[in-house]
Amino acid sequence: MDVSALSDLIRALARADWDAADTLVGEIGASGWVGGLQVVGAAFALAVHRRFAPDATPTEVAGWVAATRAQYEDGGTLPALEMEGLIRAALGEEELADNIPAETVIAAEVFVLGQLLLEAKLSPSELDEFVNEAEEIAAEYL
Q: What sign has the CA pseudo-torsion 99, 36, 114, 128?
A: positive
Mean pLDDT of 52-59: 95
Domain that includes residue 91, residue range:
3-139
Res. 1: pLDDT tops 60: no
- Is the pLDDT at 101 greater than 80, yes or no? yes
Residue 17's nearest CA partner among 117, 103, 106 is 117
Q: Which of the pair, 118 or 74, is modelled with greater confidence?
A: 118
Rounded CA separation 135/41 (Å): 10
Pick 73 or 54 by higher pLDDT.
54
* HSE (side-chain half, CA atoms, 13 Å) at 51: 26
Supply the pLDDT for residue 2. Answer: 59
Say yes or no to pLDDT of 46 above 80. yes
Please tell me the pTM assigned to this model: 0.89
For residue 19, pLDDT over 60 is answered with yes
Domains of the chain: total: 1
Mean pLDDT of the chain: 89
